[in-house]
Amino acid sequence: MHQKPEHSCVSLKSSMSKDFNLGFKESTPAAERVDQESSKVPSGQPTKHHQAHLDSVFMLLEDNIMNFVKNELKKIQKTLRSDYPECLGSQKEDEGVLDDEDKEETRNSRQAFVKITLHFLRKLKQKELADFLQSRIFAPDFQHELKSSLKEKFQCVFEGIAKAGNPAKLNQIFTELYITEGGTAEVNDEHEIRQIETASRKQYRPETRIRPEELTIRQEDIFKALPGRDKPIRTVLTKGVAGIGKTVLTQKFTLDWAEGKANQDIQFIFPFTFRELNVLKEKKFSLVELVHHFFTETKQAGICSFEDVQVVFIFDGLDECRLPLDFHKAEILTDPTLSNSLDVLLINLIKGNLLPSARLWITTRPAAANQIPPCCFDMVTEIRGFNDPQKEEYFRKRFRNEQQACRIFSHIKTSRSLHIMCHIPVFCWITATVLDVLKTIEKGPLPKTLTEMYIHFLVVQAKVKKVKYDGGSETDPHWSPESRKMIESLGKLAFEQLQKGNLIFYESDLTECGIDITAASVYSGVFTQIFREERGLYQDKVFCFIHLSVQEFLAALHVHLTFINSGVNLLEEQQKTSHQSETDKPFYETAVEKALQSPNGHLDLFLRFLLGLSLETNQTLLQGLLTQTGRSSQTNKETVQYIKKMISENLSAENNVNLFHCLNELNDHSLVEEIQKSLRSGYLSAEKLSPAHWSALVFILLSSEKDLDVFDLKKYSASEEALLRLLPVVKASSKAL
């Protein structure tokens, strides 16, 4: 059912009552007479004399208002007829003699009159004229307001350290990222028909053959057509693995626009996150209402059309989307003022049925990209993270003290794995947090795997809490019964909500998991309270983990702890409740299976952490938190064998690459041979792999403990494509064959 909302002339009444107290003929004798008489008017009962006075005032008022209306209508007509840049600007000329207060009042009256005009135009069914007038007149003022509120919103990075009173300024910490064009969105799709479609589309789009590496894209140019292509770009999909900087990139793009530094041809940018949209899943909106809901300034300005202006919509984190995006079934919607469910709205916006003139930028982790058909995008880009000089730059920006930055960075370089891992910004941030807290860099090995890195992070958080909030010293044991309990509860919350696909929680979700709200704020390093009531979005306090990967880590820790402490396999239980046949599969096998079943890879990182936690070396790092170490009856060797078996079962490239990551977490030394085998055998063909897959493989090869002194390309693949893609590995090894 569609509901056609009434066009609202926002705060029309209040503007009128305020603005129409103005006298426009103050200098005439009649006005003076009225003025003098008015001072004699008694405040009590109206008298005859008072009635006469009112009559004369109203005659004068009518006279003034009629003049005003005629003048304004002429101006409005002029605005609608010509290519006049903006109406209000032109009126400034005749404000010259007025003082500031009068100018303000005159401007308000004119705005109010425009709103009245819009109201009547719409009543006369002149919607297009009304919309055009509206965009002409209100857009410039509103743009200013939108820019200010976006500046306010994005100038600081949301890293969970704001509570410490030291929020990081985005412009200060932002380090350029390496972004390339490429990574066709269809790599993930195994369906034969799709492959044929893809192949035929490629014939018509020879540009897809351009090597992505040759086309590095700066973030401000995300909508600019690449050299040699004329087609304007309406929709862009940017893919990137967890923590690679998708959110930060969209924020920097928006901030640069709001600060007037880039893309000034865009009139409005409306950044949304799927996380926020999920909360409104059950509600119905028109596109205009949706914008009004999130950007209240638009509503206040009465902007009801975005058709004649250049608008960019950003939707960050498609992987977090819980809306059922069914592109085949969704009805067609072309009117931005008709309400429908959010998924229908989004689908039509993406397809270009709604606001074909608007531009769209969607970001996602790679595994979830296939929720939108690839043909919907004019360009697919990939964030590849930091290259080596950018890594160094990151640490220089983070630690303003140059000596400290140098010391920390050279320390990182001593570990090849850690240095490589730092191509992912979130790891840089975690490393920086960890190494900053451990002021005197402790001797001993640096984290080499993802799991190790997050364990260090958790330990650091526990240390900070001990010292900051509990008055302990740095040498005290950092785990206490209370902090253990807190991590257990956070883990439970993380897992249960991850299962449900929830990334934002309410107070009741916390209390259900036994978390005391006041205690939660103490854990602001891990878990952050976000207040958004002031934006009118949420009625209650809402919470989320500082980064999704932290939620995934804590969820894995919870599943691990439950298994070690009580032998209960939480993943198996889930299977049973979904009425599947009783299985007696080993613990880690159920985990691998469950992750592979997920259509958008939402358990990929979780699985890597869970497997990482099975290593005794990692359990030792968590001493004090884990009261007992233990493992399933399944040995690591068996798990490794099982994963290898799965790799050979012709899974999607996405799944395969994640399983390689898993082998890496398990410190499996045959990993390099496994990758070689898959590439040679064609399970992983150069065709099938996207640039992101290749960089993941390079990452795995480089960070594996295997000695790469001699790099024999023949062992991988004979193709030239493979050679080029594996170049970074060739460079890192002293000799290549």
Interface pick for ligand ATP out of 76, 121, 369, 426 (rule CB under 6 A):
426
Cβ pair 497, 505 in contact under 8 A = yes
Q: Least distance to ligand ATP from the beta carbon of 502, Å?
A: 15
Sign of the C-alpha dihedral, residues 561, 562, 567, 571? negative
Element (H, E) at 120: helix 100-123
Decide if residue 369 touches ligand ATP (CB under 6 A): no
110 or 365, CB closer to ligand ATP? 365
- In the complex with ligand ATP, the residue whose CB is nearer, 457 or 587, is 457
Asked if residues 543 and 563 have their Cβ atoms less than 8 Å apart, the reply is no
Task: Tell me the one-letter amino acid at 453.
Answer: M
Residue range at the interface with ligand ATP (CB under 6 A); choices 29-37, 140-148, 167-175, 399-407: 167-175
Q: Which is nearer to ligand ATP, 212 or 425 (CB)?
A: 425
Residue number, 174 or 711, with CB nearest to ligand ATP = 174
Name which position in 182, 240, 447, 491 contacts ligand ATP (CB under 6 A): 240
| Of residues 304-333, those binding ligand ATP (CB under 6 A) | 317
Residue closer to ligand ATP, measured from CB, 123 or 169? 169
Residue 419 engages ligand ATP in binding (rule: CB under 6 A): no
Query: What is each CA distance from 56 to 23, 31, 62, 68, in whole angstroms?
Result: 13, 10, 10, 18
What HEC string does 633-645 produce? CCCHHHHHHHHHH
Q: What is the pairing mode between strands 735-736 and 710-711?
A: parallel
Q: Report DSSP state, residue 629.
A: -
**CB-wise, 297 or 604, nearer to ligand ATP?**
604
**C-beta atoms surrounding 1 within 10 Å:** 5
Strands (E), 106-222: 178-181
* Rounded Cα distance, 474 and 468, in Å: 10
Which residue among 150, 173, 595, 671 contacts ligand ATP (CB under 6 A)?
173
- When the beta carbons of 134 and 175 are compared against ligand ATP, the nearer one is 175
Of the listed pieces 34-42, 126-134, 238-246, 504-512, which binds ligand ATP according to CB under 6 A? 238-246
CA atoms of 507 and 521, how far apart (whole Å): 12
Residue that the structure tokens 């080029």 belong to:
724
Decide if residue 601 touches ligand ATP (CB under 6 A).
no
Concatenating the DSSP letter of every residue in 307-362 gives: SSS-EEEEEE-GGG--S---TTTPPP---TTS-EEHHHHHHHHHHTSS-TTSEEEE
Please give the residue whose beta carbon sits closest to ligand ATP in the complex: 245
Is residue 245 near ligand ATP by the rule CB under 6 A? Answer: yes
Rounded to the nearest 10 degrees, what angle do helices 570-577 and 548-566 cross at?
A: 90
Lay out the site mask for ligand ATP across 121-160 (x = CB under 6 A, - = otherwise). Answer: ------------------------------------x-x-
Q: Does 366 bind ligand ATP (CB under 6 A)?
A: no
Q: Are 305 and 134 in contact (CB under 8 A)?
A: yes
242-250, 467-475, 579-587, 722-730 -> range binding ligand ATP (CB under 6 A): 242-250
Minimum CB distance to ligand ATP smaller for 121 or for 177? 177
Binding status of residue 425 toward ligand ATP by CB under 6 A = yes
**Residue 178 DSSP one-character state:** E
Work out how close the CB of 392 gets to ligand ATP at its nearest, in angstroms, rounded to a whole number. Answer: 13
Q: Which of 549, 551, 639, 658 binds ligand ATP (CB under 6 A)?
A: 549
| Residue among 338, 288, 353 nearest 2 (CA) | 338
235-239 and 284-285 beta bridge pairing: unpaired
**Nearest CB to ligand ATP, comparing residues 391 and 492:** 391
With CB under 6 A as the contact rule, the residue among 161, 177, 345, 510 that binds ligand ATP is 177
Residue 658 sits in the site that holds ligand ATP (CB under 6 A): no
* 506 SS3 class: strand
By CB under 6 A, is residue 237 in contact with ligand ATP?
no
Nearest to 609 by CA among 450, 496, 495, 488: 450
**Count residues contacting ligand ATP (CB under 6 A)?**
23
Bridge partner list, 529? 543
From residue 37 to residue 56, the character string flagging contacts with ligand ATP as x (rule: CB under 6 A) and all else as - is --------------------
Choose the binding region for ligand ATP from 24-32, 300-308, 421-429, 578-586 (rule: CB under 6 A): 421-429
Reference 18, options 109, 98, 91; nearest CA is 109
Torsion angle defined by CA atoms of residues 576, 581, 584 and 589, in that order, rounded to the nearest 10 degrees: -80
From the list 173-181, 412-420, 635-643, 703-711, the region that binds ligand ATP by CB under 6 A is 173-181
394 near ligand ATP, judged by CB under 6 A: yes
Tokens of 396: 């220089």
Residue with smaller CB distance to ligand ATP, 461 or 562: 461
Question: For ligand ATP, which is the closer residue by CB, 234 or 246?
Answer: 246
Closer Cβ to ligand ATP, 244 or 493, answer by number: 244
The token pair that represents 530 in the structure block: 């976000």
Least CB distance from residue 372 to ligand ATP, whole Å? Answer: 16
Tokens of 111: 């705005």
Segment contacting ligand ATP by CB under 6 A, of 53-61, 90-98, 243-251, 713-721:
243-251
Residue 417 or 433 having the CB closest to ligand ATP: 433
Candidates 76, 112, 248, 708; binder of ligand ATP (CB under 6 A) is 248
Interface residue with ligand ATP, options 247, 340, 600, 717 (CB under 6 A): 247
**Do the Cβ atoms of 583 and 575 come closer than 8 Å?**
yes
Does 606 engage in binding with ligand ATP (CB under 6 A)? no
Residues 6+ apart with CB under 8 A from 60: 23, 25, 30, 31, 34
Q: How many helices (H) and strands (E) does the chain have?
A: 32, 13
Q: How many CA atoms lie within 13 A of 18 on its CB side?
A: 15
Least distance to ligand ATP, CB of residue 493, Å: 18
Is 454 among the residues that bind ligand ATP (CB under 6 A)? no
Query: What would the 3-class secondary structure string for 10-37 be?
Result: CCHHHHHHHHCCCCCCCCCHHHHHHHHH
Residue 303 in contact with ligand ATP, rule: CB under 6 A: no
Q: Are the C-beta atoms of 240 and 363 separated by less than 8 Å?
A: yes
- Closer residue to ligand ATP in complex, CB, 377/427: 427
Q: CB–CB of 513/496 below 8 Å?
A: yes
Binding site for ligand ATP (CB under 6 A): 157, 159, 173-175, 177, 240, 242-248, 317, 365, 394, 425-426, 429, 547-549
